[in-house]
């Protein structure tokens, strides 16, 4: 194909083109106008053709050529759009198949569900779920799921929102299954965050400021807030141009955690919200999304001053929607970093887990990005861990726990725990600084 427009006014006298196939003997071709049809890449994908203009001389004019060229462009766009639509349908079908496969493998299996369903569930007191000093270290994996069921039951969420017990068991097992075996941001971290939220609500007196729908949304958010965490933060996703970073430009991992939680809810037999009205469902999903996104510390820093101002002004009810959202976000932060308020032996062990995961990211940054990681990701600066913990407490933890202690006396134990642990970390930091001073090092060498 030459790609040129053909306007032939005496077809019978030419020998360039021949008629292919049978034609009506009574039908004579006098004139012909042919126009190539291009796709978006300027490749010819077809030909538009007109025969015998309906005038006495049957001749096609220059104006006919211009109009027909526009028609050919329109045909090209139509064909291109049709092909794109067909490709989109194929891609959607592939995506649906992939989701069905992933959903099957990511969902708890029938025997797991039946086993959990038949297990007796210990009481809140036996699990010590209302304690701010709670530790999961002595619980098995199955017991953490059973304790999660107990939280739903004790908060009256199962009866109030008509959650089928089997669906709750399947959903919890599916959520646990969708956490990767990373060092810290795994299922046990999510479970601990949910337990702290339970303590805030039950022992801390926060129930009076929340509706039951909000309570359910917050507990679900805590359990789902780090789903499919890869052990690396948002900055790492951006620096490595990961598919997640391309998909979500801000709060990368948090958006992924939320979307993953929706995927599980939409998987067969996992919708614990199935009995909600359309309005309730919309509201709880809104609570769920806002709560998970608020675990991004960038959002915490952006919004915390508004919360601090409300508490300082004497706000106790948080009835306005914007104030309620602010309260829920700060509660999520307080729960997410709550290991900092645990008894010292628990806090110290958890800090080791956190920094071990950070150091692994630092190692990947050196290997993949050929750059030096920041101090808290750098295992070469492990000795600075106590000093970094003091900085973390002062910059992030102390302000939010102080504000909650001012809001309600029931949350003062969290503030007390942070104050005590800060003293412990500061003491270790000073000891580390003393050991690293040149004079002492020289004395050690002489000895």
User: Rounded to an integer, what distance in angstroms lies between the CA atom of residue 380 and that of residue 359?
Assistant: 9
Which helix (H) or strand (E) is 6 found in, with range?
A: strand 6-8
> Is 80 considered catalytic here?
no
- Residue 267 — φ and ψ, nearest 5°? -75, 145
Contact 423, 394 (CB under 8 A): no
User: Rounded to an integer, what distance in angstroms lies between the CA atom of residue 323 and that of residue 357?
Assistant: 35
Burial 137-174 (b: 16+ CB within 10 A, else e): eebeeebbbbbbbbbbbbbebbeebebeeebbbbbbbb
Angle of the 321-336 helix axis to the 187-202 helix axis, nearest 10:
130
User: Rounded to an integer, what distance in angstroms lies between the CA atom of residue 359 and that of residue 309?
Assistant: 36
Contact 201, 215 (CB under 8 A): yes
| SS3 category, 61 | coil
Determine which one of 162, 185, 229, 255 is catalytic: 185
* Residue among 211, 216, 218, 210 nearest 334 (CA): 218
Contact 175, 106 (CB under 8 A): no
Contact 107, 270 (CB under 8 A): yes
CA atoms within a 13 Å half-sphere pointing along the CA-CB vector of 61: 6
Contact 362, 239 (CB under 8 A): no
Burial 196-220 (b: 16+ CB within 10 A, else e): bbbbbbbebebeebbeebbbbbbbb
Query: Could you tell me where the beta strands, DSSP code E, fall in 287-401?
Result: none
| Residues annotated as catalytic (active site), given as ranges | 185
């Amino acid at each position: 194909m030459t790609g040129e427009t053909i306007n032939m006014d005496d077809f019978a006298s030419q020998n360039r083109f021949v008629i292919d196939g049978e034609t009506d003997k009574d039908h004579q071709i006098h004139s012909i106008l042919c126009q190539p049809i291009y796709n978006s890449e300027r490749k010819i994908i077809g030909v538009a053709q007109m025969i015998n203009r309906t005038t006495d001389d049957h001749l096609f004019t220059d104006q006919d050529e211009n109009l027909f060229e526009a028609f050919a462009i329109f045909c090209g766009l139509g064909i291109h759009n049709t092909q794109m639509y067909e490709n989109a349908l194929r891609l959607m079908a592939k995506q649906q198949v992939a989701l069905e496969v992933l959903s099957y493998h990511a969902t708890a299996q029938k025997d797991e569900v039946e086993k959990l369903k038949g297990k007796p569930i210990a009481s809140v007191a036996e699990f010590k779920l209302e304690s701010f000093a709670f530790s999961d270290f002595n619980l098995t994996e199955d017991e953490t799921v059973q304790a999660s069921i107990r939280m739903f039951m004790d908060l009256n969420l199962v009866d109030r929102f008509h959650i089928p017990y089997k669906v709750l068991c399947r959903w919890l097992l599916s959520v646990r299954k969708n956490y990767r075996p990373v060092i810290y941001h795994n299922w046990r971290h999510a479970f601990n965050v949910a337990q702290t939220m339970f303590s805030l609500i039950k022992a801390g007196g926060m129930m009076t400021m929340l509706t039951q729908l909000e309570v359910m949304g917050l507990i679900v958010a805590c359990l789902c807030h780090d789903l499919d965490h890869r052990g690396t933060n948002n900055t790492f996703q951006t620096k490595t141009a990961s598919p997640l970073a391309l998909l979500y430009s801000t709060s990368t991992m948090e958006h992924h955690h939320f979307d993953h939680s929706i995927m599980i809810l939409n998987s067969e037999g996992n919708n614990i919200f199935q009995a909600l009205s359309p309005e309730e469902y919309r509201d709880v999903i809104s609570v769920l999304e806002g709560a998970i996104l608020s675990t991004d510390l960038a959002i915490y820093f952006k919004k915390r001053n508004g919360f601090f101002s409300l508490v300082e002004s004497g706000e106790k009810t948080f009835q306005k929607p914007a104030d309620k959202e602010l309260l829920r976000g700060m509660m999520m932060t307080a729960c997410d970093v709550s290991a900092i308020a645990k008894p010292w032996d628990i806090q110290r062990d958890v800090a080791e887990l956190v920094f071990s995961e950070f150091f692994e990211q630092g190692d990947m940054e050196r290997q993949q990005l050929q750059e030096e990681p920041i101090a808290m990701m750098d295992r070469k600066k492990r000795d600075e861990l106590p000093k970094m913990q003091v900085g973390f407490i002062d910059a992030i933890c102390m302000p939010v726990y102080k504000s909650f202690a001012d809001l309600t006396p029931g949350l003062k134990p969290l503030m007390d725990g942070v104050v005590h642990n800060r003293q412990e970390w500061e003491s270790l930091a000073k000891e580390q600084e003393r050991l690293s001073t040149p004079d002492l090092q020289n004395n050690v060498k002489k000895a």
